Structure 1
Amino acid sequence: MSAIIAKATGFVNSTVAKSTQLANCAVYWGKVGAEVGKVIYKKEGLAPPTTKEFETVFQNAVKFLKSGEQQKQFLEKAAAFKPTKECAVKAGIYGTQLLAFFSVGEIIGRRHVFGYPSVGSNHH
């Protein structure tokens, strides 16, 4: 009977230690992320839009959707667009950032850096 209790105690201790370590990591990286976010928020001068700014953008969007002439002008400008080296560099940078965010999301979702975790038996 004591062997069963010893195994159960060992399992519980192991589970508690692992969950404590995971919680500590989550808290640490949450705090690091919050601090980095604060620094970026202050350095870039970011702020949420005011109600007036939001209303202006919304009204302009509604006007654009209702006006066929504005849509036609927009399509003509888009067709006449000539990409430059600067545009290509910006697109590359934004694409790299998008790929990085996507990759981090995939890693978080899989809970592994490479591959997917095996679930169940591996018999085919």
Structure 2
Amino acid sequence: MSAIVARATGFVNSIVTKTTEVANGAVYWGKVTAEVGKVVYKNEGLAPPSSAQFQQVYQNAFKFVQSPEQQRAFLTKAAQFKPSKECAVKAAVYGTQLLAFFSVGEIIGRRHVFGYPSIGGGAHH
């Protein structure tokens, strides 16, 4: 009986230790992210948009949806677009950033850098 209790106690202790480590890491990186965010917010002069700015954006979008002339002008302008080297470089940079964010999200979701974790030891049929 004492062997079972010792095994259960060891199992609970290992779970508590791992949970504490994960929580401490999450708190640490949360604080680091908050501090970096504060620095960026101050240095870039960021501020949330005002209610007047929100209203202006939605009014312009509503006008665009209701105005066929604006839609035609937009389509004409889009059809005349000629991609340049600068445009290609911007697209490559944005694409690389998008791929990096996607990859980090996948790594976080899988909790592994390569492949998915194996669940169970059963053979595949």
TM-score range, shorter chain: over 0.9
Q: How much identity, in percent, do the aligned residues show?
A: 73
1:30 and 1:121 map into 2 onto residues whose CA distance is: 35
- RMSD (Å), alpha carbons: 1.2
Segments of 4+ moved more than 3 angstroms = none
Q: Which residue of 1 aligns with 2:115?
A: 115
Letter in 2 for 1:71: Q
Letter in 1 for 2:80: A
Q: Quote the offset at 1:120 in angstroms.
A: 2.7
Q: Quote the offset at 1:83 in angstroms.
A: 1.4
Alignment gaps of 5+ in structure 2: none
1:110 and 1:34 map into 2 onto residues whose CA distance is: 25
Q: How many residues of Structure 1 are paired with residues of Structure 2 in the alignment?
A: 124
1:56 and 1:69 map into 2 onto residues whose CA distance is: 20
1:35 and 1:97 map into 2 onto residues whose CA distance is: 22
1:40 and 1:96 map into 2 onto residues whose CA distance is: 22
Q: Which residue of 2 aligns with 1:65?
A: 65
- TM-score (normalizing by structure 1): 0.93
Alignment gaps of 5+ in structure 1: none
- TM-score (normalizing by structure 2): 0.93
